[in-house]
Amino acid sequence: MLELLNIKIEVERLSNILGKGEDCLDLQYLIARIQYLDQVIAQPDFWNNPTRAYEVLQEIEYSIFYKHQQYQRWCSILEDIKAALQLLELSADEQLWQEVQSNLTQLHQELETAEIRQFLSDPEDKKSAFLTITTEVDNADSQYWAYMLLQMYWRWAKSHNYQLDVVEISDGNEAGIKYATLEITVRYAYGYLKSETGTHQLQQISPFDAANSLRTSLASVEVIPILDESIEWEIPEKDLEITWPRYRGNVNHVETWVNMVHIPTGISVFCDQERSLMQNKEKALAILKSKLFAMPTAGYAYALAQNVQLDKIQPRQIKPLSNKLIREYILHPHTKVKDLRTNVETLAATEVLDGKIDLFIQAFLQQLNHATSVGKETLDNFKSLL
């Protein structure tokens, strides 16, 4: 009876959230917004600004096919839960009870994600993302740690039903990986995952040491937004050095890898996951363009947005975002994961490595949002800690 009462209290809380009629949880707001955007499209000069037109069409598609339908589904799930609770008060039914718990867990998780999304206000936050993991030291422990992080982010994305692919990967010498890049194709992927940029440290008993030594391993994570059709920009061919395998007549083993280097900055991308050489070339170019667009220069400005000439930037001027230690994962002698920026920590290290990282994402975004509200100077100081 106590557990049933707790669930009824939680259902009432979720009902209040859905009934507030605010922001992304408000059906009437969504309908009004769609109607307004329809009026914008009807203006005779709408197509005069292709970039703005693309953004409007993207918002309409998102509002209609995601927000609107999602809100209606949430309300439907909540009504089903309420109806099931009424039946359970009359008669115990184990299968129905499990269904209520499952639906409630799902609804709670999705509403929590929607609440996090309210902190994502930057234009880049809405974009999909490339997430790159790189070992800091060329040894088996660090390479296996990079592989564990790859699994963690893969499971996180899958738990949210996000589409993702491995677009570049290099296997380790003994185990794990040297580096890998994931492409997470979903709206707000960058906004969610920008909290993960930095160096991640693992402390555990080495599985590769017969003496069971305690080892510390480091791996860096870099998250960048994927450019879309709203960004019209091409890299001059003279600034690119592209290499690919030479054909050697072996039709049974055709290599399709492409390595692309941006000569002025020295930034390189290796891609070998697509089926054809041209597909790998296009993917490598997409990653490289995104890296250059998001590349921080002095003052943490987007290079293109500030009209910085990329051919004037030297490699030594590039300030990596991923060289700051942001999170510690301890598996021995005790278990704990702690974020060093927000001080949020949990003893459930195994669950975190299984992809449950939303508590760290939410805390980071809340802190970043608070920094934004108190002024630009505070925000700049906070970003310098990344």
How high is the pLDDT of residue 107?
79
Per-residue pLDDT tens over the stretch 315-338: 444 555 567 899 999 999 999 999
Find the angle CA(377)-CA(52)-CA(321) to the nearest 5 degrees: 35
Q: Look at residues 179, 221, 224, 225 and name the one whose alpha carbon lies nearest to residue 357.
A: 221
Assess contact for 127 and 98: CB atoms under 8 A. Answer: no
Assess contact for 182 and 226: CB atoms under 8 A. Answer: no
Distance CA 245, CA 277 (A): 9
How high is the pLDDT of residue 135?
92
**pLDDT tens-place values along the chain, 386 residues long:** 445 556 666 666 666 656 554 344 445 555 666 677 777 777 888 777 776 676 677 666 665 556 667 777 778 888 888 888 888 778 878 888 888 888 887 777 777 777 777 778 787 888 899 999 999 888 899 999 999 999 999 999 998 888 899 988 989 888 899 999 999 988 889 999 999 999 999 999 998 887 888 999 999 999 999 886 666 677 888 889 999 887 655 556 678 889 999 888 788 899 888 888 899 998 999 888 888 877 754 323 344 444 555 555 544 445 555 678 999 999 999 999 999 999 999 999 999 999 999 999 989 998 887 765 544 443 344 344 43
Q: Look at residues 375, 373, 371 and name the one whose alpha carbon lies nearest to residue 385.
A: 371
How high is the pLDDT of residue 101?
81
How high is the pLDDT of residue 381?
44
How high is the pLDDT of residue 323?
75
Per-residue pLDDT tens over the stretch 239-252: 899 998 876 555 56
How high is the pLDDT of residue 200?
97
| Whole-structure pTM value | 0.70
How high is the pLDDT of residue 151?
97
Distance CA 337, CA 350 (A): 9
3-state secondary structure labels for all residues of the chain: CHHHHHHHHHHHHHHHHHHCCCHHHCHHHHHHHHHHHHHHHCCCCHHHCHHHHHHHHHHHHHHHHHHHHHHHHHHHHHHHHHHHHHHHHHCCCHHHHHHHHHHHHHHHHHHHHHHHHCCCCCHHHHCCEEEEEEECCCCHHHHHHHHHHHHHHHHHHHHCCCEEEEEEEEECCCCCEEEEEEEEECCCHHHHHHHHCEEEEEEEECCCCCCCCEEEEEEEEEEEECCCCCCCCCCCHHHEEEECCCCCCCCCCCCCCEEEEECCCCCEEEECCCCCHHHHHHHHHHHHHHHHHCCECCCCCECCCCCCCHHHCCHHHCCCCCCCEEEEEECCCCCEEEECCCCCEECCHHHHHCCCCHHHHHHHHHHHHHHHHCCHHHHHHHHCCC
Residue 292's contacts (CB-CB under 8 Å, 6 or more residues apart) are 235, 262, 265, 267, 303, 304, 310
Q: Look at residues 265, 314, 309 and name the one whose alpha carbon lies nearest to residue 291.
A: 265
How high is the pLDDT of residue 144?
95
The tally of CA atoms less than 13 A away on the side-chain side of residue 135 is 24
Provide the 10 A C-beta neighbour count for residue 98: 10
How high is the pLDDT of residue 344?
96
